[in-house]
Amino acid sequence: MIQSLSIQNFALIEKMSVDFSGGFSIITGETGAGKSILLGALGLVLGKRADLSSLKNKEEKCVIEAQFDLAAYRLEPFFETNDLDYEPITILRREILPSGKSRAFVNDTPVNLQELQDLSEFLIDVHSQHQTRELSENQFQFQIIDAVADNNLLVGSYQKILKQYKHQLGKLEDLKIQLQQSLKEQDYNTFLLNELQTISLAHLDQAALEAEFEQLNNVEFIKENLHKALSVATDEQYGVVHLLNEIKSSLQKIAGFGENYQSIFERINSTAIEMHDINRELEKFSEGLIYDPTKLELIQQQLQSLYTLQKKHQVNSVSELLEIQNELEQQVDGISQIESSIQAIENVLKDLVVELDELALKIQDNRVKAVPNLTQQWTEILAQLGMPNVRFKIEFTPVNQYLNNGKSEMEFWFAANLGSDFGLLKKVASGGELSRIMLATKAILAQYSKLPTIIFDEIDTGVSGEIASKMAEIMKSMSRNMQVFAITHLPQIAAKGDIHFKVYKSVQGGDTLSELKQLTEAERVEEIAQMLSGAQVSESALNHARALLN
C-alpha cells in the first residue's frame, strides 16, 4: 500500500507531503481545489508521461516521490526480472527538469517509464467514472471471470506456451518460404554442381596440366633442340665434354704447384662432372619424349572445360571454383536439411498444441464453474445499490484458434428489470447502471486480487441518499482486504471513511496554492456539514454530520 506521497513544484502545489494508512480514506474538496492535481502527481510517479506544463516554477525541477509498503505482496520476482533492488519499503521517484527531460527511479535505481508502468500495475488501481467503459471491453471481462475462477496461473502458463507456439510458427513459415525458394533454384544449382564435379576439381592441378599441354604440343621443337644441345656437348673434337676434359687434364698437371691451381682444377672437375650429368639428363629427356596425340587431346579438353567454368563463374583459379562447388553442395544439400528442420518444428508444434489444448480446456472449465459464483455476487451487491431485479448471463463460444487467453470467446448479457430481455451489457446498460456494476465488480475483484490499493475517483456521480450510503459500505468492506481511497462529493460516503483528507486552495504572497490536510474529528464534522448544506453551515447540518459519522 502507499504510505506517503511528497510533491514539489507541480501544478498549483509548491510543496506537499502527506502520510497515508490502511483502511478506507476519504478525500474531499471543492471543485477545482486540486483533487485532479493530486491524482495527476500520483500518475506521474506511476509512469505517465509529463511535459513542462506540469511545472509550477518553470525554472525549477518537479519532484514527486511515493513510498509503498510491499512486504505482503510477493513482488520479489518482478524486481529480480527487471534487475532492481527489492526493498519491503520501496520508494518511487519522478523528476521533471526545466529542460523537459524526465527521470524515474525505483529505490534510487534509474528506470525507464515502461518499467515504472509495469510496476504500477501491481500497486494501485485508479478508477474513475469514465473507466466504466472497460466493462464493455472483452479483455477486461475475461480478467473478471478469470480472477473469480482462479485462472491467473493457468492463463499465465497458457500465454507462455502460446508465445513459444507463435515463435515456432514464425520459424516454420520462414523455413517454408526458404524451402520454396531453394526448390526453385535446385535444378539450376544441381546442374552447376554436376558441371564442377565432372572435372574432379579436388584432384586437378591447373599449372601442371598447362605445363604438360605445352610440352606435348611442342614435342618436335623440344626434340630438335635437345638433339642440338647433345650434339654440341658430345662432339668428339669440339664438343663441350671433350674440351672440358682437355682443360681438366692441363690443370691437373699443375695442381700440385699451388693452392690456386688446385682450386681451379677442382672447380673445372666439378664442372665436368656436372656436364656429364647434364648429358645423361638430356639423353633421358630425348628418349622419353614421345608424341601422344590422344593424351594431348584429353588434356586440351580438360583445360578447355576448366577455362569455360572459370569464365562462367568469373574466377581465375581452381581453388575459387572449389569454393563455389562447396557453396553449391551446401545449397543442394540444404534442401534436405530444411526439410528436416521443418519436420522437427512440426513435431514441436504438435507437442505445444497438446499442451495448449489441455490448458485451454482447464481454463474454460474453471470459467464455466465460476459463472454462478460471479453472477450471484453481482446480483447480491447490486441489490444493495438499488438494482434488486438485475440478472446476468455469460455465454462462451468455442473457437478453433488460440486466442491470447484460451480458445473461447465470451459475451456478458444483462437484464436490469424483471420481464426484460437479455441484451449485451455494452449495448443495453445505462451509464448509471454501468457505474454500479463496475463498483460491484471492483468489490468482487478485491476478494481475489493481490492489489494493495484502489482509488475511486468520484464514481458516485449521479447517485445520492441510500444508494450512496450503500456504495460507501461496499467500499468500506473492500478496505478490509486492501487500502481504499474515495474522492467524493457525497457526505454519505465521506462519513464512512476511517481517515479524511481535504484538498483546498490558499493564497500566499499573491500566489494560489493547492494544499492537502488530514482533518480532525471536529474538522470532519464541519466538512461534512458543508457538504450537506453549503458554505453557510447550520446547526441542523452539523447535527446531521455528527449522525452520519456516528
The pLDDT tens digits of the residues spanning 67-85 come to 999 988 889 989 998 999 9
* Same domain, yes or no: 207 and 328: yes
Residue 397 has pLDDT above 80, yes or no: yes
| DSSP secondary structure of 24-92 | EEEEE--TTSSHHHHHHHHHHHTT----GGGBSSTTS-EEEEEEEE-TTS--HHHHHHTT----SEEEE
Q: Bigger pLDDT: 493 or 431?
A: 493
pLDDT at position 374: 95
pLDDT at position 193: 65
Reported as a single tens digit per residue, the pLDDT across 259-271 is 998 999 999 899 9
Q: Bigger pLDDT: 501 or 55?
A: 501
Q: Check if the beta carbon of residue 196 is closer than 8 Å to that of residue 259.
A: no
pLDDT at position 422: 92
Task: Determine how many CB atoms are found less than 10 A away from the CB of residue 174.
Answer: 11
pLDDT band per the 50, 70, 90 thresholds, residue 160? very high
pLDDT band per the 50, 70, 90 thresholds, residue 333? low
Reported as a single tens digit per residue, the pLDDT across 123-142 is 998 887 777 778 888 888 99
* Same domain, yes or no: 95 and 234: no
pLDDT at position 406: 93
* Same domain, yes or no: 44 and 187: no
pLDDT band per the 50, 70, 90 thresholds, residue 334? low
* Same domain, yes or no: 108 and 34: yes
* Same domain, yes or no: 183 and 332: yes
Closest CA to 43 of 142, 113, 134, 129: 113
- Write out the residue range of the structural domain in which residue 8 sits: 1-123+451-519
Closest CA to 64 of 137, 22, 11: 11
489 lies in some domain: yes
- Mean pLDDT for the stretch of residues 403-425: 91
pLDDT at position 109: 93
Amino acid at the residue 223 = K
* Close Cβ partners of 468 (under 8 Å, ≥ 6 residues apart): 460, 490, 492, 493
* Same domain, yes or no: 185 and 319: yes
Choosing from 299, 318, 336, the residue where a domain stops is 336
Q: Where are the beta strands (DSSP E) in 80-208?
A: 89-96, 102-106, 109-111, 124-128
CA–CA distance, 484 with 68 (Å, rounded to integer): 14
* Same domain, yes or no: 315 and 188: yes
* Same domain, yes or no: 214 and 318: yes
Choosing from 290, 317, 336, the residue where a domain stops is 336
416 lies in some domain: no
Point out the least confidently predicted range of 193-202, 305-314, 349-358, 492-501. Answer: 193-202
Q: State whether residue 235 is helix, strand or coil.
A: coil
* Mean pLDDT over each residue of the chain, to the nearest integer: 87
* Same domain, yes or no: 202 and 318: yes
pLDDT at position 348: 95
| CA distances for 275 relative to 112, 160, 259, 289, angstroms | 90, 88, 24, 21
* Same domain, yes or no: 195 and 314: yes
pLDDT band per the 50, 70, 90 thresholds, residue 435? confident
- Mean pLDDT for the stretch of residues 40-46: 91
The fraction of the chain above a pLDDT of 90, given in percent, is 42
pLDDT at position 135: 85
pLDDT band per the 50, 70, 90 thresholds, residue 189? low
12 lies in some domain: yes
Residue 185 has pLDDT above 70, yes or no: no
Q: Check if the beta carbon of residue 519 is closer than 8 Å to that of residue 504.
A: no
- Looking at the structure of the chain, the number of domains it has is 2
249 lies in some domain: yes
Point out the least confidently predicted range of 193-197, 220-224, 502-506, 536-540. Answer: 193-197
341 lies in some domain: no
pLDDT at position 52: 74
Residue 227 has pLDDT above 90, yes or no: no
498 lies in some domain: yes
Residue 3 has pLDDT above 70, yes or no: yes
User: Please, what sign has the CA dihedral across residues 162, 163, 166, 167?
Assistant: negative
CA–CA distance, 203 with 282 (Å, rounded to integer): 30
281 lies in some domain: yes
* Same domain, yes or no: 106 and 195: no
* Same domain, yes or no: 188 and 317: yes
424 lies in some domain: no
The fraction of the chain above a pLDDT of 70, given in percent, is 97
Computed on alpha carbons and rounded to an integer, the radius of gyration of the chain in Å comes to 48
Q: Supply the CATH number for residue 458's domain.
A: 3.40.50.300
Reported as a single tens digit per residue, the pLDDT across 200-215 is 777 777 788 878 788 7
Q: Bigger pLDDT: 3 or 222?
A: 3
